[in-house]
Amino acid sequence: PDVLLEVDNLHVSFKTFGGEVKAVRGVSFTLREGETLAIVGESGCGKSVTARSMMRLLPEHSASIRQGSIRFKGQELTGLSEKQMRELRGSEISMIFQDAMTALNPTITIGEQIMEGIIRHRKISRAEARKQAIEMLGLVGITSPETRLKQHLHEFSGGMRQRIMIAMAAVCSPSVLIADEPTTALDVTIQAQIIDLFRMLQEKTGVAIIIITHDLGVVANMADRVNVMYAGEIVESGTVDELFRHPQHPYTKGLLASMPRLDTDRSKPLTPIPGTPPDLFAPPRGCAFAARCSNAMEVCGAHAPERTAHSATHSSACWLHDPRAKQVFQPPIASN
Ligand code: SF4
Ligand code: MG
């Protein structure tokens, strides 16, 4: 399948009173037609910032893309005007958020809202837009969509609101859906239904999905490939199978040991990763995970690891797997 989206060496910073926070530091990945790519990591790792950069939905006054490129179907997005971006948003790339009540307008009916979205991008009549809105609401599992169209967001349950947000995002048949923690606020049963809905939508329309989550259960149930982010960088990427069966980076292994998953024995005790992520005002010179890593060696603190390939689809950035580390290899400095 063709490459839809290509992010290359992306750096994003935030200006704060305390100085510049380097939230995303050299992130690169591709998204192909029809696939589901997960970006997983703890809160503050830069996964949401990466997603918002692609939509250019970062706070304008404080955030800036410092370096790198984001190409969509070959077109560079970082230099586009807000007007050009507005044409792409919703029609080519759509975003789904954690909370529909803040992402959508609770004061107008959901019908008006979906129709507005359609009419903004397509030159069609209101009657035709209404027909499409009804069809789409039916597709995402809203029963009696003709009646529901006249209702407001607060008249729906949390799961139904997510369905409505997905309907809005998908109604103009975008090639890419970016979903930022779309199931985090929902209970497990509803979560599974929303994941099924994404799958069905992808089967029906071929849309490519980027799912941003901290939940490895969601990753296992939804994604084809995964990028693991830590402190603004991708530390490991691979297929779901490679990541879950043969994790290579100590951080990925730590995540797997510390997070409850839908597909594993929930009675097994979870081991949290000790310590906290580094300060991104002044990111460490070497490996960003070194302070928390039980495998850390002297080289880790001095030099940032580069990516090493484990297969055509699997790579990680860790000195443990880099043959070049041997030249500067030192005995472990941390133990447990
Ligand atoms: Fe641990 Fe070193 Fe690998 Fe970083 S590079 S994850 S500190 S072993
Ligand atoms: Mg987030």
Atom in ligand 1 nearest the alpha carbon of residue 299: 2
Question: Is residue 206 in some structural domain?
Answer: yes
> Same domain for 141 and 222?
no
> Same domain for 126 and 264?
no
Q: How far is the CA of 44 from the centre of ligand 2 (A)?
A: 7
Tell whether the torsion through CA atoms of 46, 106, 86 and 176 is positive or negative.
positive
296 touches ligand 1 (CB under 6 Å): yes
Atom in ligand 1 nearest the alpha carbon of residue 296: 7
pLDDT at 260 over 70: no
* pLDDT tens digits, one per residue of 111-138: 999 999 999 999 999 999 999 999 999 9
Question: Is residue 299 in some structural domain?
Answer: no
Ligand at minimal distance from the CA of 317 is 1
List the one residue out of 193, 225, 221, 196 whose CA is nearest residue 210. Answer: 225
Mutation choice for ligand 1 from 295, 329, 335, CB with most ligand atoms inside 8 A: 295
Question: Is residue 250 in some structural domain?
Answer: yes
Per-residue DSSP letters for 34-48?
T-EEEEE--TTSSHH
Question: Is residue 285 in some structural domain?
Answer: no
Where is the domain boundary, 260, 278, 296? 278
Quote the domain boundaries for residue 228: 3-92+177-278
Where is the domain boundary, 126, 141, 173? 173
Atom in ligand 1 nearest the alpha carbon of residue 300: 2
End-to-end CA distance of the chain: 45
> Same domain for 115 and 212?
no
Distance CA 211, CA 194 (A): 12
325 touches ligand 1 (CB under 6 Å): no
Mean pLDDT of 102-111: 92
> Same domain for 216 and 146?
no
* pLDDT tens digits, one per residue of 241-255: 999 999 999 999 999
250 touches ligand 1 (CB under 6 Å): yes
The interface pTM score, or ipTM, of the predicted complex is 0.95
Q: How far is the CA of 27 from the centre of ligand 1 (A)?
A: 18
Question: Is residue 305 in some structural domain?
Answer: no
* pLDDT tens digits, one per residue of 182-232: 999 899 899 999 999 999 999 999 999 999 999 999 999 999 999 999 999
What's the confidence (pLDDT) of residue 271? 83
pTM assigned to the model = 0.93
* pLDDT tens digits, one per residue of 142-192: 999 999 999 999 999 999 999 999 999 999 999 999 999 999 989 989 999
* pLDDT tens digits, one per residue of 311-335: 999 999 999 999 888 776 555 555 5
Q: How far is the CA of 232 from the centre of ligand 2 (A)?
A: 12
Specify whether the CB–CB gap between 39 and 235 falls below 8 A.
no
What's the confidence (pLDDT) of residue 101? 87
290 touches ligand 1 (CB under 6 Å): yes
Residues within 5 Å of ion ligand 2, judged at the Cβ atom: 48
Instruction: Provide the domain count of the chain.
Output: 2
Q: What is the dihedral of CA 41, 46, 52, 57, to 10 degrees?
A: 140
Q: What is the dihedral of CA 121, 122, 128, 130, to 10 degrees?
A: 0
Q: How far is the CA of 180 from the centre of ligand 2 (A)?
A: 7
Where is the domain boundary, 256, 278, 300? 278
Tell whether the torsion through CA atoms of 291, 297, 302 and 303 is positive or negative.
negative
> Same domain for 85 and 182?
yes
Distance CA 217, CA 99 (A): 20
300 touches ligand 1 (CB under 6 Å): yes
The 8-class DSSP code of residue 321 comes to G
What's the confidence (pLDDT) of residue 332? 54
Q: Whose CA is nearest to atom 3 of ligand 1?
A: 318
SS3 291: helix
182 touches ligand 1 (CB under 6 Å): no
What's the confidence (pLDDT) of residue 266? 60
Q: How far is the CA of 81 from the centre of ligand 2 (A)?
A: 25
* pLDDT tens digits, one per residue of 29-40: 999 999 999 999
Question: Is residue 41 in some structural domain?
Answer: yes
Distance CA 47, CA 51 (A): 6
75-76: strand order across its sheet: 19-32, 3-16, 63-72, 75-76
234 touches ligand 1 (CB under 6 Å): no
> Same domain for 67 and 186?
yes
Q: Which residue has the tokens 């995540």?
A: 255
The domain that contains 207 carries what CATH number? 3.40.50.300
> Same domain for 158 and 40?
no
> Same domain for 168 and 42?
no
Class of residue 141 by CB neighbours under 10 A (exposed 0-12, middle 13-18, buried 19+): middle
Helix ranges (DSSP H) in 206-322: 216-222, 240-245, 250-258, 298-302
pLDDT at 80 over 70: yes
Exposure string over 227-244, b if 16+ CB within 10 A, otherwise e: bbbbbbbbbbbbbbebbb
Question: Is residue 269 in some structural domain?
Answer: yes
> Same domain for 202 and 262?
yes
What's the confidence (pLDDT) of residue 262? 53
What's the confidence (pLDDT) of residue 334? 56
> Same domain for 109 and 150?
yes
> Same domain for 66 and 130?
no
Distance CA 151, CA 70 (A): 38
Structure tokens at 186: 């929902």
Question: Is residue 220 in some structural domain?
Answer: yes
Structure tokens at 325: 């580390």
288 touches ligand 1 (CB under 6 Å): no
Q: How far is the CA of 213 from the centre of ligand 2 (A)?
A: 8
> Same domain for 186 and 60?
yes
